[in-house]
Structure 1
Amino acid sequence: MALVEYAREGAVGRLTLNRPEAGNAVDPEFIADLAKAIEAACADPGRAILIDARGANFSLGGDVRHLAASGNGVADVLRDMAARFHEAQLKLCELPLPIVSAVQGNAIGGGFGLALSADFILCADTARFSTGYSRLGLSADAGVSYFLTRALGARRATALLISSRFLSAQEARSIGVVDEVVPEADLQGKAVAFADQLASGPTAAYAAIKRLTEAARTSGLADHLDREATEIVALASGDQVPCAIDAIATRKQPVFQG
């Protein structure tokens, strides 16, 4: 049984963490299965990706028992785990599709980083988030420092990384880490419905939006305006934009395909 599974469900590709008895903790076998699942997603992605997890927790992060067993060799173990996790994570983040994370229970460390890899995070009202690393005398991994700095700014991200304190679902929503908080019993249904909604939308436009917001981190205004013009003209040159404009003009619902 794979510790991370991938399956197409209609137009949505579903990436499911499947080590519930261990809180979906991350160890080398988990990372290997994550890499395989992401490869499968890249080969057959559909039009949106949903990341969810079985069990009480989204992910407790690095498997502390596995790390403890490595003793003084923990640096070598972490080097290998980080390299393999990052390789898979980059492939996921580079998919030109909207990605949704559905988080219940705890999302800690690398589990938090995996959730943050998505464009949208929906979470249960009982969910909690923590960077976790500083409790072990570590800094950050799995893109946690990158994603939090982009979302919150350097000062607030630094404070969360140093303290490793838990954010409640409500606080995570209020500071902009989470997009929507729902009752725990409704999480799966809401997440699937939202992923389906995104999958029925203009995914080519979504891909262009992701490229633009990524480029905006380092672009000057003049260069970025040129990028915007290039993207919007390329989209308008296809057949879907004229159809969508006509639909809106005649008070119909646009239909996007491909």
Structure 2
Amino acid sequence: MKRDDAEVKLVDRVAAEGLAKELYRALATGDRTSLDRLLHPGFEGHTTEGLPLDLGGDYRGPDDMRREFWGRIAKSFIARAEPAEFGFLDDGRLLVRGRYTGTAHTSGAPLDAEFIHLLSFDDGRVRELVQLTDSGRWNEAPTPAERPLETVDFRITDGIGEIRLNRPAERNALDQAVADDLYEVALRCASDSGIRALLISGNGPAFTVGGDISVFADAGEGELPAVLRRMTTPYHEALRIFSQLEAPIVTAVHGAVAGGGLGLLYVADIAFAAEGTKFATGFTSLGLSGDGGNSWFLPRLVGPRRAAELYFEQRVLEAAEAAEWGLVSHVVTADVLEERARSAAQRLAQGPIRAYGEIRRLLRDSWSSTLSQQLVAETEAIGRAAATDDALGAMTAFLAKSTPTFKGR
């Protein structure tokens, strides 16, 4: 039996409202996979003029909105869009009323601003978002300058973001300051679309020996659990952000890589190690279970049996063994470590960054996807990559037998 127009319209509206609610959930949790699924490839965002950070204006495409609007907001605010009321206009658009709530990142100043969103839909996705909000309320919440870094050096040169752990006297042991600095750097990287590759290294005799045991030992009776939770929360968030960047990551390690510091090795796409570098988890010798993503990355990189050996037998790997096990990509002499790693980062920075981002996402998500889901994800990803100027330019260059120039768009 054929449904009448009223019934079809009701079904369509229920589906559209469901999509909108999914969108707000994805934004609240930072769910990139869901955002990719929910936003139409031709998505457009139109935001209120006068917002801080020059955020007001037009955004073309899902990536533009995600990086240049939502990503830049996340750099200065902990903000959440909380929808309260949904209703449809005569033209078919969904009107959503609600409030932005949260705080400015470093000052803690409150944000409380009403919003109206007008959402349009096409082919089961969100096609357009028009934002109306009180820009004055946003500007009343201070957006302070970037927090000074104490234990990590960070700079951007020719599109390459360089992160260098800088506690050489402590062999770059991880403490609260390092965790906070890495989180700050991760936020900067996520909000800067000009970064085309990331290079992670460390000053001093070791890349990092993991957690700073002297800090743990100084904790008062019953305080250690809270100390570890406070430290691992920003550090783990930094690792999550690094793993989801579009820009590929190169890590150069030397001396020692241990404990939770292994996480900075795991997030790399290409990892260089100097000869003589030693790798160990070291957690059980301290009566701890581990952090830094070890329980997720290790079994995927080396297999569950070897992961258990590293944990339970406190196995220490030399650089050559680490390469054989799959922890690092290349072992080089110490005198060429930085040169080789920097060269790799420079080469990647000249490549198709949007395609790299799709590849990073596909490889990461493949562990939790079925074959059918991964094949669908590949189809969607190659479609997004094919829509870039880089893909068109590369194919034109291929036919002309010339070298393509990738611009990252």
TM-score, scaled relative to structure 1: 0.95
- Shift of residue 71 of structure 1? 4.1
Equivalent of 1:30, from 178, 183, 191?
A: 178
Contact kept? 2:275, 2:332, Cα under 8 Å: yes
Contact kept? 1:5, 1:33, Cα under 8 Å: no
* Corresponding residue SS for 2:368: coil
Which whole-Å deviations, capped at 9, do the CAs of 1:136-188 have from their partners, x for residues lacking one? 11111010121111111212111111122211110001111100011100011
Unaligned runs of 5+ in 1: none
Contact kept? 2:150, 2:177, Cα under 8 Å: no
In structure 2, the partner of 1:40 is 188
Equivalent of 1:106, from 240, 243, 256?
A: 256
* Corresponding residue SS for 2:405: coil
One-letter amino acid of the structure 2 residue matched with residue 42 of structure 1: A
Equivalent of 1:124, from 271, 274, 279?
A: 274
Question: Is structure 2 residue 303 aligned with structure 1 residue 181?
Answer: no
Equivalent of 1:80, from 225, 230, 236?
A: 230
In structure 1, the partner of 2:167 is 19
In structure 2, the partner of 1:211 is 361
In structure 2, the partner of 1:62 is 211
| Separation in structure 2 between the aligned mates of residue 85 and residue 219 of structure 1, nearest angstrom | 26
Question: Is structure 2 residue 242 aligned with structure 1 residue 92?
Answer: yes
* Corresponding residue SS for 2:367: coil
| Separation in structure 2 between the aligned mates of residue 79 and residue 142 of structure 1, nearest angstrom | 12
TM-score, scaled relative to structure 2: 0.61
Which whole-Å deviations, capped at 9, do the CAs of 1:86-115 have from their partners, x for residues lacking one? 122212222111011100100110111222
Segments of 4+ in structure 1 off by > 6 A? none
* Higher RCO (CA < 8 A, seq sep 6+): 1
Query: Are the structure 2 counterparts of residues 234 and 179 from structure 1 closer, same or farther at C-alpha, using a change threshold of 3 Å?
Result: same
- Shift of residue 68 of structure 1? 0.6
What is the identity percentage for the equivalent residue pairs of Structure 1 and Structure 2? Answer: 37
Which whole-Å deviations, capped at 9, do the CAs of 1:191-229 have from their partners, x for residues lacking one? 111000001011111111111112211222222211111
Query: Are the structure 2 counterparts of residues 240 and 33 from structure 1 closer, same or farther at C-alpha, using a change threshold of 3 Å?
Result: closer
Contact kept? 1:6, 1:41, Cα under 8 Å: no
- Shift of residue 84 of structure 1? 2.2
- Shift of residue 249 of structure 1? 3.1
| Separation in structure 1 between the aligned mates of residue 230 and residue 250 of structure 2, nearest angstrom | 27
* Corresponding residue SS for 1:242: helix
| Separation in structure 1 between the aligned mates of residue 243 and residue 315 of structure 2, nearest angstrom | 26
Contact kept? 1:6, 1:38, Cα under 8 Å: no
More helix by share: 1
Query: Are the structure 2 counterparts of residues 193 and 74 from structure 1 closer, same or farther at C-alpha, using a change threshold of 3 Å?
Result: same
Task: Tell me which structure has the larger Cα radius of gyration.
Answer: 2
| Separation in structure 2 between the aligned mates of residue 216 and residue 180 of structure 1, nearest angstrom | 24
Unaligned runs of 5+ in 2: 1-148
